[in-house]
Amino acid sequence: MRGAARARSIAVADSLASAAVEPLLAGRFGRPYRYEQSCESTQLLLEGATEGAVAVCDEQTSGRGRLGRSWQAPSGTAILCSILVRPPAARRMPELSLVGGMAAADAVEQALGLTAQIKWPNDVMVNRRKVAGVLAEARNGAVTLGVGLNVNQTRDELPADPPSPAASLRTIDGVERDRAPILAVLLDRVEARYDAWCGAGLDAIYDFLGARDFLRGRRVAVDGLEGYAVGIDRQGRLEIDTDRGRRSFESGEVRYER
Ligand code: BTN
């Protein structure tokens, strides 16, 4: 099967093949645009690419999540993409997950007309469920920013027991969507948020982030330390008030009270 072939059909025209997506792209990101029907992981397709190069597929045989987890979505149901960036040396790499997360939140908000939140450091949440995740992998000064955005999965097609309960745009509002325009918005927003961050660091996006901080005020545990999340600081770390005082985390696995 070629290009736009899908494992099942949906009610709308839907393809992430070059012919469907490239005409919708207005900026630098998505050039070059590489589409594969199936691949191991889009994170592996951008070695040596120039900034703004994008790899997209309909199905991953070994999709990667954060902290060594896998990332799964039935063929043709989600946006699975990776974007290659080459950030200035002055910028802090851990902040890139937040930059990507905010761009994904922009795209989700535009598609749904609902406010999305960011669960530090990389999850996009709507109605307390995770609709998208970001994976930033650095190598030789380049960062591959992977975004998985759940679009048309039914409830049964979402992971059964993920660390955060999962949702797709479809399970939130019942609408099946063409993924191409959502991907085009996503790439446009990644470019805009990334450019702002390159120029001014996290300050460029800090207010947006604060207004969408999912964990703030929640009872959380990070790497075994429990407390209440204070928020994300100016360096992109999660601050927690614990019995032993305030602690900041650069990375880690956050569990939260639901
Ligand atoms: C997470 O929430 O753990 C991050 C998930 C990132 C998944 C995306 S899907 C496209 C890209 N290719 C991968 O193998 N992973 C990322």
- Give the pLDDT of residue 110: 98
The reply to whether ligand 1 has any atom less than 6 angstroms from the CB of 214 is no
One DSSP character per residue, 45-82 reads S-TTPPTT-EEEEEEESS-B-GGG-B----TTSEEEEE
The reply to whether ligand 1 has any atom less than 6 angstroms from the CB of 101 is no
CA of 52 to the centre of ligand 1 (A): 18
The reply to whether ligand 1 has any atom less than 6 angstroms from the CB of 43 is yes
Residue 78 CB coordination number (10 Å)? 30
- Give the pLDDT of residue 1: 35
- Give the pLDDT of residue 10: 65
**Residues paired with residue 178 on neighbouring β-strands, in sequence order:** none
pTM, to two decimals: 0.94
The reply to whether ligand 1 has any atom less than 6 angstroms from the CB of 42 is yes
pLDDT over threshold 50, residue 5: no
pLDDT over threshold 90, residue 180: yes
pLDDT digits (tens, 9 = 90+) for 53-81: 999 999 999 999 998 999 999 999 999 99
The reply to whether ligand 1 has any atom less than 6 angstroms from the CB of 71 is yes
Contact of 231 with 216, CB cutoff 8 Å: yes
pLDDT digits (tens, 9 = 90+) for 129-143: 999 999 999 999 999
Q: Could you tell me the pLDDT band of residue 11, with boundaries at 50, 70 and 90?
A: low
Ligand 1 atom at shortest distance from the alpha carbon of 122: 2
Q: Could you tell me the pLDDT band of residue 4, with boundaries at 50, 70 and 90?
A: very low
- Give the pLDDT of residue 163: 78
pLDDT averaged over every residue in the chain: 94
In order of start, what are the domains of the chain with their CATH numbers?
Answer: 3-211 (3.30.930.10), 219-256 (no CATH)
Q: Could you tell me the pLDDT band of residue 3, with boundaries at 50, 70 and 90?
A: very low
- Give the pLDDT of residue 21: 98
Contact of 215 with 256, CB cutoff 8 Å: yes
Q: How far apart, in whole angstroms, are the C-alpha atoms of residue 220 and residue 22?
A: 42
- Give the pLDDT of residue 161: 78
Q: How far apart, in whole angstroms, are the C-alpha atoms of residue 134 and residue 116?
A: 14
